[in-house]
Amino acid sequence: MKRLLSILTVSLAFALLGGCATGPTRGSYRVTAYKPHNPANVRVKVSTSTQHIYVMEGDRCLMAVQGCVGTAKDPTPPGSWRITNKIKNKRRISQPDAGYPMAYWCEFKSAYGFHEGFVHPYPRTHGCIRLHKEAAARLFALVKVGTPISISRTQPEDATVGRSVMRLDQSRDPDPPRSSMMSPAWFKDPAGPLLIEG
């Protein structure tokens, strides 16, 4: 209990200071994302060792969340990239699971992108970077075509704002009903403003 209170206190401190704290990992998972002062200065950093995604504007953290990256067999491609395409209501076109929603698609390399999906505490994708819907919607709002992406095993932010990233484990969550996933309503934004002043 003391550890939980300590984590929540640190997270609240980051939020009050304009940092990148996220909400609790169970129940109503919420993500805080701040409006950039200059959208042209936004960049995204991915740490494959921690599975953390940092959206930065200079030294200012706009959002920091846990995602899910590629496995050793199908790794997320390291290197410097740029967002090349954005499709809010993208669906998987290949088998298996054609039609499966990949909402808030932000492509950075052909067939690789950020998108909504289950977040596991270990690498589990075919190279894409999956985010909880709360985070995917906000990343989509923060980036534009041309936004720089840096993907490497570690990032300097792992030792700073990375400490406030709340862990998320959706590995045991059941798949929603297929009728729900195939509905256009699946692509509705989370409630409330996606980006806040701060």
The owner of tokens 């003391």 is: 2
Average pLDDT taken over every residue of the chain:
88
Please determine, for residue 6, whether its predicted confidence score (pLDDT) is greater than 50: no
Domain boundaries, the chain: 2-171
pLDDT for 189: 96
CA distance 61 to 54: 7
Prediction pTM value: 0.86
CA distance 41 to 144: 11
pLDDT for 155: 98
pLDDT tens readout for residues 128-182: 999 999 999 999 999 999 999 999 999 999 999 999 999 999 999 998 999 999 9
CATH of domain 2-171: 2.40.440.10
How, if at all, do strands 42-47 and 52-57 pair?
antiparallel
Quick one: pLDDT band at residue 127, thresholds 50, 70, 90?
very high
**Interval 10-38 mean pLDDT:** 60
Quick one: pLDDT band at residue 2, thresholds 50, 70, 90?
very low
pLDDT tens readout for residues 57-92: 999 999 999 999 999 999 999 999 999 999 999 998
Residues 6 or more apart whose Cβ sits within 8 Å of residue 125: 68, 69, 70, 71, 74, 76, 117
